[in-house]
Amino acid sequence: MFRNLSTIGLPLSGRASELIELALSFGFDSMDIDIVDFQQQADAFGVEHARRLMVSARLKSGLFHLPVDLGSDDETFNRDMELLPKRLDLAQATEALRAWTTIEPASEEHAFKDYFEFLRKRLDTVGDLLAKRGIMLGLSIVPEAEAREGKTHQFIHTFEGLLGLVASSHPSIGAIVDAWALHVTGEPIEMIAKTPAGRIVEVRLSDAPRDVPVAALHHQHRLLPGETGVISMGAVLTQAKAAGFDGPVTPCADRSTLAGRGREKLVKLAGDRLETAWREADLPMVPRWFLPVAKDMTPYVPPEVFAAAGE
């Protein structure tokens, strides 16, 4: 497994060179990429230019958000699909071989059975394109009850339900193991072992408050992993390891829970928490190839990263 920094999992903003410096400084091995932005850079300057910062920093490409709205009308879906092959080619070129998207937990138009088949067919279509490029797509769920309120038809919002869709879909379709979602739905972490072999695409770690009943949890309660210990980071990673997972582990928290924490402190704290999770799960620690150079923990970052950034 390797430690992945996502600017969606941890709401972060800044120039690519700044975010890469933070990832390097605090023990991350990979970063998610914005495939649409990457395409714009590649179209303007070439693929190698678009890749230069990640290559110089020796960071792996993490995941990218699938730029296709699976639940959209036919016109929108077909338009997205026309653009998808080129974007997947670019993802392959930058060695970003894992994508993600979220399954809506309810629908106004489709009953459960109809929506299941509707999505399965679209996932098969997408899966054929992914398979040609060696890319896996991870599906995530929205577990909170608030997301289903007022909707006509309920849909998949549990990990068990997600596994049913994954098992029925193209081999290039997998599941995202989200510790927060398992906690909200009350499912045991042993459910992770029921994921079909090789179909875990990402593990997301978060925590939950002690003073809020599970049934009352909203997405705004999603805490940085290790905040309270209500959700055991080590136990989740141990289960993922037992299931044969060796991919990205991403810390996630809702923006509202991070107020007052600067960007650098937040990434450092997330990196430290992942190190703790690694120790709890008895995972091998990968040595950092840089060292802090001063008491204030100012990191050493290779000069070629800044050269590539034009700084």
Residues 31-52 have pLDDT tens digits of 999 888 888 888 887 777 777 7
- Calpha distance 99→41 (Å, rounded): 19
**Count of alpha carbons within 13 Å of 200, Cβ hemisphere only?**
26
Between 12 and 52, residue with greater pLDDT: 12
pLDDT in tens, 24-33: 999 999 999 9
Beta strands, E only, the chain: 2-5, 30-31, 60-61, 63-65, 98-102, 106-107, 136-140, 153-154, 173-178, 200-205, 248-251
Residues belonging to the chain: 311
Residues 162-177 have a mean pLDDT of 97
pLDDT for residue 126 is more than 50? yes
Between 288 and 84, residue with greater pLDDT: 84
pLDDT for residue 271 is more than 60? yes
Residue 289 has a pLDDT of 45
Q: How many CB atoms lie within 10 A of CB 26?
A: 23
Residue 177 has a pLDDT of 98
CATH number listed for the domain at residues 2-309: 3.20.20.150
Whether 222 contacts 255, CB under 8 Å = no
- Its sign, for the CA torsion 17, 310, 50, 30, is negative
pLDDT for residue 167 is more than 60? yes
Give the mean pLDDT of the chain. 89
Residues 164-171 have a mean pLDDT of 96
Q: Give bridge partners of residue 153 from the DSSP assignment.
A: 107
Whether 86 contacts 39, CB under 8 Å = yes
Question: Against a cut of 0.85, is the pTM above it?
Answer: yes
Residues 56-79 have a mean pLDDT of 92
Q: How far is CA 150 from CA 145, 146, 147, 165, in A?
A: 10, 9, 9, 24
Q: How far is CA 36 from CA 46, 63, 220, in A?
A: 14, 13, 28
Residue 287 has a pLDDT of 58
What values do phi and psi take at 65, rounded to 5?
-75, 125
Between 280 and 299, residue with greater pLDDT: 280
In this prediction, residue 286 has a pLDDT band, given cuts at 50, 70 and 90, of: low
pLDDT in tens, 201-230: 999 999 999 999 999 999 999 999 999 999
